[in-house]
Amino acid sequence: MRVDFTKPAGIQHKQYRNFVDRISPKPNVLVNVVWAFLVGGSIAAIGQALLTLFLMLGLPILEAGAMVAVVLIFIAAFLTGLGVFDDIARYAGAGAFVPITGFANAMVAQAMEARTEGLVLGVGARLFTIAGPVLVFGIVVAWLTGLIYFLFR
Partner 1 sequence: MIFAMAFLVGGLICVVGQLLMDLTSYKVTPAHILVGFVTTGAILSAFGLYQPLVELAGAGALVPLTGFGHILTQGAIRGVERDGLLGVFAGPLEAAAAGVTAAIVFGYFFAILFKPKG
Residues 89-128 that bind partner 1 (CB under 8 A): 93-95, 97-100, 102-104, 106-108, 111-113, 115, 119, 123-124, 127
3 binds partner 1 (CB under 8 A): no
Answer for the pair 104, 112: CB distance below 8 angstroms, yes or no: no
Minimum distance from CB of 72 to partner 1 (Å)? 7
Region near partner 1 per CB under 8 A, out of 4-12, 17-25, 40-48: 40-48
- 143 HSE (CA, 13 A, CB side): 6
Minimum distance from CB of 11 to partner 1 (Å)? 26
Residues contacting residue 102 through CB under 8 Å, at least 6 positions apart: 76, 96
Residue 60: strand, helix, or coil: coil
Q: What is the DSSP letter of 124?
A: I
**32 vs 26: CA distance, rounded Å:** 11
Minimum distance from CB of 67 to partner 1 (Å)? 7
16 binds partner 1 (CB under 8 A): no
Q: How big is the site for partner 1, counted in residues (CB under 8 A)?
A: 78
Q: What is the dihedral of CA 8, 13, 18, 24, to 10 degrees?
A: 150
88 binds partner 1 (CB under 8 A): no
36 binds partner 1 (CB under 8 A): yes
Kindly tell me which of 6 and 116 has the beta carbon lying closer to partner 1.
116
Hey, what amino acid is at 19?
Answer: F
139 binds partner 1 (CB under 8 A): yes
